[in-house]
A and B are shown apart, each in its own frame.
Chain A
Amino acid sequence: MRRFSFLGLLIMVLAVLAVACGGGASTTAFTPPSDPIGVIKIGPKDPIRIASALVISGADANLGTDSQRGVELAIADRKAIKGHSIQLQAEDDGCSSEGGQAAGTKLAANPQIVGVVGTSCSSAARAAAPLITKAGKVMVSPSNTAPSLTAPDRSADFAGYLRTAHNDKVQGAVAAKFAREQLKVSKVATIHDGSPYAEQLQAVFAAEFKKLGGQITAQEAVAPTDTDMRPVLTKIAAGKPDLIYYPIFVAAGGHVTTQARKTSGLEQVKLMSADGTFAVDFLKAASDAAVGVYHSSPDFSAFAGGYADFKAKHKAKYGEDPVSAFHAHAYDAAMIMFKAIEKVGVEGPDKSLYIPQKALRDALFATKDHQGLTGKINCDKNGDCADPKIAVYQNSADNVKQAKVPDTPIWKPY
Chain B
Amino acid sequence: MTGRPATSLAAIRRWSARINVADLLMWIVGGAILIFIVAGSIATLRLGIYSFRQWVDFIVFGLAQGGVYALIALGYTMVYGTLRMINFAHGEVFMSGAYTAYFLAFTLAQNGWIERYPVISLAMIFAVSMGTSALVAVLVERIAYRPLRNAPRLVALITAIGASFFLQYAFRGLYGSGFKAYPRMSFLEGSWSLGDFRILHLQVVVIVAAALMMAVLYLFIQKTKTGKAIRAVSEDKAAAALMGISVDRMIVITFVIGGLAAGFAGVLFALMFKQVHFFMGFIPGIKAFTAAVLGGIGNIPGAMIGGAFLGIFESLGPILFLDGFGIKAPYQLKDAIAFAMLVLVLIFRPTGVLGERLVQKKA
Contacts and interface: CB of A to CB of B under 8 A. Distances in A.
Query: Which of B57, B184, B191 has the largest count of A CB atoms less than 10 A from its CB?
Result: B57
Contacts of A238: 49-50, 54
A57 B178 contact: yes
A94 B351 CA distance: 38
Interface in B173-210: 177-181, 183-184, 191, 198, 200
A234 B54 contact: yes
Contacts of A254: 181, 274-275
Given A228-B65, A235-B319, A281 B179 contact: yes
Interface residues of A, number: 38
A370 B269 CA distance: 49
A287 B334 contact: no
B200 A226 contact: no
Contacts, number: 105
A222 B198 contact: no
Q: B interface, how many residues as a size bin?
A: 35 or more
A268 interface: no
Contact of A59 (B183, B198, B277): B277
Contacts of B54: 234, 237-238, 264
B200 A231 contact: no
B interface, by DSSP: helix, strand, loop or mixed?
Answer: helix
A27 B183 CA distance: 73
Contacts of A139: none
Given A58-B178, A238-B50, A264-B57, A194 B274 contact: no
A116 to B, nearest CB: 21
Contacts of A391: none
B103 interface: no
Given A59-B275, A264-B198, A287-B274, A228 B314 contact: yes
Given A228-B314, A234-B61, A255-B275, A221 B329 contact: yes
Contact of A225 (B53, B62, B177, B283): B283
Contact of B61 (A231, A255, A286): A231
Given A234-B61, A285-B274, A285-B275, A61 B329 contact: no
A232 B331 contact: yes
A56 B177 contact: yes
Contacts of A250: 179
Contacts of A255: 273-275
Interface string A204-238: 00000000000000011111011110111011011
A85 interface: no
Contact of A287 (B58, B61, B184, B269): B184
Nearest to B60: A230
Query: Which of A221, A250, A264, A288 has the largest count of B CB atoms less than 10 A from its CB?
Result: A264
B169 to A, nearest CB: 10
Given A219-B328, A234-B61, A258-B274, A251 B179 contact: yes
Given A232-B318, A264-B54, 15 more contacts: A57-B178, A219-B329, A222-B331, A231-B58, A231-B314, A231-B316, A231-B318, A237-B54, A255-B274, A255-B275, A263-B57, A264-B198, A285-B181, A285-B275, A287-B183
19 contacts: A59-B275, A59-B277, A62-B178, A220-B329, A221-B329, A230-B57, A231-B315, A231-B318, A232-B331, A234-B58, A235-B330, A238-B54, A251-B179, A254-B274, A255-B274, A264-B54, A284-B180, A287-B181, A288-B184
